[in-house]
Amino acid sequence: MALTEQEISELKKVAARIREDIVDVTGWAGGSHIGGALSMTDIMVILYYKYLRVDPSNPEWDDRDRFVLSKGHGGVGHAAILANKGYFDPDLLKEFNHYGSPFGMHLDGNKVRGVDTSTGSLGHGLSVAVGMALGARVRKKSWRVYCLMGDGECNEGSIWEAAMAAKHYKLNNLIGFVDRNRLMIDGATEDIMSLEPFAEKWKAFGWQVREVDGHDFQQLAEAIEFGQAYEDGPVVVIANTIKGKGVDFMENDPAWHYGGVSAELIEKAKNSIEERA
């Protein structure tokens, strides 16, 4: 079922708001992994505002879908989404990564409402997601597991061990996403540790692959709905994105993998987001 023009328009508005919140939180915190949080925003928005079966008023609802942010350093973006969805008071984000705050740079599932599992050590999230998907099968539950990875993270061997297990157990209740912005902390992924041919690697591990523009809500919707309907095993959506998406002076610049923003840069970043919304 394709998205309507009205749905796309609303999702774009939400995404712009989330990106502005990410900029604000980065300012309050003194710094964050802002580039990758901005690149994954549209993926997060369509999941939380269209497809995830969750209830912010009851975050422990047993029949909810599970979401795993394997690229846990994107927690600033996840926190902004959860606040906007009503899991907690958005004012709490003003203390993000401050001493005594429940929000660390990598979100703790024991402290932050709506976070299904703690992540941060790269490469672990997909294994956790595989376990969750197996758990749903054993318990005869209908919920799905969605796992968002970074492309640089896919240098980790544990990603591929989990990928093998997911295919072996034919986990058709698991959909993976890769935020393919092609940049990591030290530079381009293809210079640091080449991933290509990336789609073919996932196919060789037995996954169904969909490659999309990770900033096109229609393409994302079609890929997610394919994953939900596919019955023979796991599906991965390789979402081609732009690091720092929405902020002109951050886009495609690995220097913004992690960074802080002054009051002047916050204003400049928000103006860029508004102009591109």
Q: What is the CATH number of the domain that holds 111?
A: 3.40.50.970
Q: Quickly tell me which residue has 């997909």 as its tokens.
A: 126
Peptide bond into 197 cis (omega under 30): yes
* Burial bucket for residue 10 (CB in 10 Å: 0-12, 13-18, 19+): middle
Range(s) of the domain holding residue 218: 5-276
Helix, strand, coil tally for the chain in percent (to 5): 50, 15, 40
Q: How high is the pLDDT of residue 2?
A: 83
- Taking 90 as the threshold, does the pLDDT of residue 277 lie above it? no
Say what the pTM is: 0.97
HSE value, Cβ hemisphere, 13 Å, CA-based, for 8: 12
* Average confidence (pLDDT) over 118-142: 97
| pLDDT tens digits for range 201-222 | 999 999 999 999 999 999 999 9
- Tell me the C-alpha distance between 81 and 137, whole Å: 28
- Tell me the C-alpha distance between 35 and 252, whole Å: 9
For residues 154 and 178, is the Cβ–Cβ distance under 8 A?
yes
| pLDDT tens digits for range 34-59 | 999 999 999 999 999 999 999 999 99
For residues 164 and 170, is the Cβ–Cβ distance under 8 A?
no
Number of domains in the chain: 1
Q: Quickly tell me which residue has 């034919």 as its tokens.
A: 170
- Tell me the C-alpha distance between 208 and 163, whole Å: 11
Residues sharing a CB contact under 8 Å with residue 121, sequence separation 6 or more, in sequence order: 72
